[in-house]
Amino acid sequence: MNRHWQTYLYTICLALFCSCADNDVLIDTPAAASNREVPIKFVSSYVDHATRHYSELCQHQPTMGVWGWRTGLKETNTPVFIDQVVKHNADSARWEYSPIQYWREGCDYTFIAYAPHQQQTNATVSIDPETRMISIHNVELHGDNLQATPTDAVQELFRHTTDTDWMVAREELSVVGMAGIGVEFVMQHLLAKLNIRIKADAELLKKRYITHLTADSITVGTLAAQGDFTQQLTHTPVLIDPAEAEIDEWVVRDTTLYIIGKQPADIKETPTYLVESLVLPQYIAPDAMVTLYYSFHFASGRSEECRYRIPLSEAFTRFASGHNYTLTITISPQRIKFEAGATDWEMNL
């Protein structure tokens, strides 16, 4: 009988030990553990109007900056996080930060975030304490041709480029925290995306004396290279609403950016993307031109190089943040045509 009681007591002690071990995973200090406090955790955050394949923030950015406030019976809007850097750990698949903060029972929490954290960039980020609107100063774009090789589809991800794809959880997408619940955000793009693609008219491709056409290079410039963002809208602008589409959240300070694509590509009846790049919203310089060099290749073995230029302002009057702008150039027997349109970030024309 004593042996059975010893076994029973051992089982209880083992269960209690395992329970303590589980708590130790969540609570990392003896004081917090003794008070049974629960740490504030950041879980999978998402990108609004993201691509079909890359919807989680960690697939776009490895860090984010977080502000948080706490309100209770004896306090109002007490800062909990002040531009806290939160990093995604690829090994554990978790968002991590230090020092750990804990939920307080009976308090309400509000969180706002942006990505990536300013430590990764040359920019500086601040927040208005009254309106909680975010400002980003000294945003720079380098003008890389982000479409590494011409293709039938855009790559839709800017993580592996020198240009920074800025995002922010605007007010309507901010988070009200509840004790014990993981905090997640919905991020919106602040920059605009420019795509340029080329195709050939079917009648031109049927000409027997033409073996094929190639797009040799393309240059877009001059564009906005540097600017400041000051948040004024609580959401991405609605293009069909003139009152919103005309609001300038960006102030451009430099227009010396060129986007250059040098990879040659066959021109087919179906569109081929030559450029996918990030651009600063709103402003399009009057001298911003799209210059395309393309070649006819003939059955005789001869080739003829041609050039086509249009002002970018003929295609788009302005850019708005969080939107996708696609310029399609069609080589035809009579004259070159172009079509232009704008959609949400994740949609392509």
Examine the domain organization and report whether 198 and 335 are in the same domain: yes
Greater pLDDT, 116 or 338:
116
Judged by DSSP in three states, 299 sits in coil
Question: Domains in the chain: how many in total?
Answer: 2
Looking at the domain assignment, is residue 150 inside a domain?
Answer: no
What CATH code is carried by the domain that includes residue 251?
2.60.40.2630
Looking at the domain assignment, is residue 158 inside a domain?
Answer: no
Examine the domain organization and report whether 168 and 207 are in the same domain: no
Examine the domain organization and report whether 324 and 269 are in the same domain: yes
- Please report, for residues 48, 59, 155, 237, 289, the alpha-carbon distance to residue 52 in angstroms, rounded to integers and kept in the order given: 11, 12, 11, 21, 31
Which pLDDT belongs to residue 217? 93
Per-residue pLDDT averaged across 211-235, rounded? 92
Examine the domain organization and report whether 213 and 118 are in the same domain: no
Residue 52 binned pLDDT confidence (cut-offs 50, 70, 90): low
Looking at the domain assignment, is residue 139 inside a domain?
Answer: no
Which pLDDT belongs to residue 175? 64
Looking at the domain assignment, is residue 147 inside a domain?
Answer: no
pLDDT tens track for 224-242: 999 999 998 888 788 778 7
Q: What percent of the chain has pLDDT over 70?
A: 84
Examine the domain organization and report whether 213 and 178 are in the same domain: no
Examine the domain organization and report whether 87 and 120 are in the same domain: yes
d(CA 95, CA 79): 20
What CATH code is carried by the domain that includes residue 128?
2.60.40.2620
Residue with tokens 């040359």: 122
Predicted confidence (pLDDT) at residue 50 exceeds the cutoff of 70: no
Q: Are 192 and 52 in contact (CB under 8 A)?
A: no
Per-residue pLDDT averaged across 79-93, rounded? 96
Examine the domain organization and report whether 124 and 263 are in the same domain: no
Exposed/middle/buried for 101, CB within 10 Å: 0-12, 13-18, 19+? middle
The answer to pTM > 0.85 is no
Residue 174 binned pLDDT confidence (cut-offs 50, 70, 90): low
Predicted confidence (pLDDT) at residue 158 exceeds the cutoff of 60: yes
Greater pLDDT, 156 or 347:
156
Where is the domain boundary, 141, 156, 189? 189
Where is the domain boundary, 174, 189, 204? 189
Examine the domain organization and report whether 169 and 43 are in the same domain: yes
Examine the domain organization and report whether 125 and 203 are in the same domain: no
CA 192 from centroid of its chain's CA atoms: 9
d(CA 92, CA 17): 24
Predicted confidence (pLDDT) at residue 3 exceeds the cutoff of 80: no
Eight-state DSSP code of residue 2: H
Task: Please give the helix or strand (H or E) that residue 312 lies within, else none.
Answer: helix 312-315
Looking at the domain assignment, is residue 240 inside a domain?
Answer: yes
Which pLDDT belongs to residue 81? 96
CA geometry: angle 36, 37, 39, nearest 5 deg: 140
Looking at the domain assignment, is residue 159 inside a domain?
Answer: no
Examine the domain organization and report whether 270 and 340 are in the same domain: yes
Looking at the domain assignment, is residue 144 inside a domain?
Answer: no
Residue 35 binned pLDDT confidence (cut-offs 50, 70, 90): low
Looking at the domain assignment, is residue 155 inside a domain?
Answer: no
pLDDT tens track for 112-135: 999 999 999 999 999 998 889 999
Examine the domain organization and report whether 206 and 79 are in the same domain: no
Range of the domain at 125: 2-132+164-189
